[in-house]
Structure 1
Amino acid sequence: MPEDRPAVLTAADGDVWRITLDRPETGNALTPRLAAELAAAFAARPEDTRVVLLLANGPRFCVGGDVRSFAGADDPGAFVGQLAHDWHEVIRTVLSCPVPVVAGVQGAVAGAGVGLVGACDLVICARTTTIRPAYGAIGFSPTAVRPGR
């Protein structure tokens, strides 16, 4: 993905704050950049918005972690550990959002994507939606986050 193109798009539409994952070429796979931009998008929510609408561009909502980036890291263990920490902060942010978070989901939702939609207040799934934890397939354990921790 070009560095000048954001991984997350935001827009206010009346009293709706729309956040859109925008890495369709990777299935909106989780990277440190996506996590940081998603956290920033929630932090930038205008005070007068009454709901957050979480969407994703492309045929897949979020396929989980970008395993190619895991393998390409100099220290994969440290890379994945830091990414998990940052992602847990994003999940806490979603859980503590003072307005409802509604996800509009299509296609694959796997791994970290399952935790993201699980943190939302309401999830609307297209008929194409498939949900797969996927952690075990790559030797990980599922996300476990408690609010305020």
Structure 2
Amino acid sequence: MTESGLRLTVDGPVARVVLDRPEVRNAQTPAMWRTLAKFGERLPDDVRVVVVSGEGPSFSAGLDRRLIAGEPADGEEPLLALGAKPADVVHAEIAGFQAGFSWLRRPEIVSIAAVQGHAVGAGFQLALACDLRVVTPDAQFSMREPALGLVPDLGGTQPLVQLVGYSRALEICATSRWVEAEEARQVGLANIVVPAEELAATVKDLTEALLAPLPGAIRETKALLLSAADTSYEQQLRAEREAQQRRLAELVGSFG
């Protein structure tokens, strides 16, 4: 499936989402976010791993500059045009944009961002929406929204804090500075840094490793880890008990 500068391919348990606008460093538009949401809605139930990557030398340079500069782009109105709309309309529109990113965190899939070159603004947030990030030495992350008078609103704030902590997350966002690959690895933004020529093979190996355990075990484990930071210790112990009971019941049923 190809739509709005995006490609989706599904090969059994593996889906691949490719940002395919290399001529503008995979700059994003609201149409792309709506299409991403459609991809999530239409994903076959047997997909277990989703790989997100960008065509060409950059993962994504963020929002299309024309929309930031007050110009229409590909039929989309400038970003600031939202500011003249009623609050409930703005909230609904942004919620629709966020849906293009949030499905990557669903417990039934593990998502991998394969990042090379720039991952700026919406590109940074798309990488953050994924569970794992494999990056090349030239990868550079930057949260540019505050520099434009805006806030990151595509779901990137929570995973950023979870990965690097509040203080460092604030510093990264408030300064809009570049976080290069090695620092990203050191602070937990990147799981691994590999040479560009090894990116595809590394992602393939990681995908195969993620497919090895039973899908229910990965689904339940991801759900437990996602909830861990927001629950008390006793609540987490209960969640572990309940998840293990479900796993044991499923395993007994499969061998019965």
Q: TM-score with structure 1 length normalisation?
A: 0.82
Larger-Rg structure: 2
The answer to whether the 8 Å contact 2:3/2:35 transfers is no
Measure how far apart 1:5 and its partner are. 6.3
Residue of structure 1 equivalent to 2:106: 96
Pairing 1:56–2:54 present: yes
2:128 to 118, 122, 141: 118
Unaligned runs of 5+ in 2: 84-89, 159-225, 227-256
Corresponding residue SS for 1:47: coil
Pairing 1:14–2:12 present: yes
Distance 2:118 2:78 in 1: 28
Distance 2:53 2:125 in 1: 15
Measure how far apart 1:97 and its partner are. 5.4
Measure how far apart 1:95 and its partner are. 2.2
The answer to whether the 8 Å contact 1:32/1:83 transfers is no
Unaligned runs of 5+ in 1: none
Residue of structure 2 equivalent to 1:72: 71
Give the CA RMSD over aligned residues. 2.5
Pairing 1:26–2:29 present: no
Please list the CA deviations of residues 8-49 of structure 1 after superposition, one character each: whole Å capped at 9, or x if unmatched. Answer: 111122321111111111111121211111111222222112
Measure how far apart 1:124 and its partner are. 0.4
Q: Percent identity?
A: 29
Q: Bigger shift: 72-81 or 88-97?
A: 72-81
Measure how far apart 1:134 and its partner are. 1.2
Q: TM-score with structure 2 length normalisation?
A: 0.50
The answer to whether the 8 Å contact 1:11/1:17 transfers is yes
Task: Tell me how many residue pairs correspond in the alignment.
Answer: 144
The answer to whether the 8 Å contact 1:16/1:49 transfers is yes
The answer to whether the 8 Å contact 2:52/2:114 transfers is yes
Q: Which amino acid aligns with 1:72?
A: E
Distance 1:121 1:85 in 2: 21
Distance 2:42 2:107 in 1: 12
1 or 2, which has the higher strand percentage?
1
1 or 2, which has the higher helix percentage?
2
Q: Which amino acid aligns with 1:100?
A: V
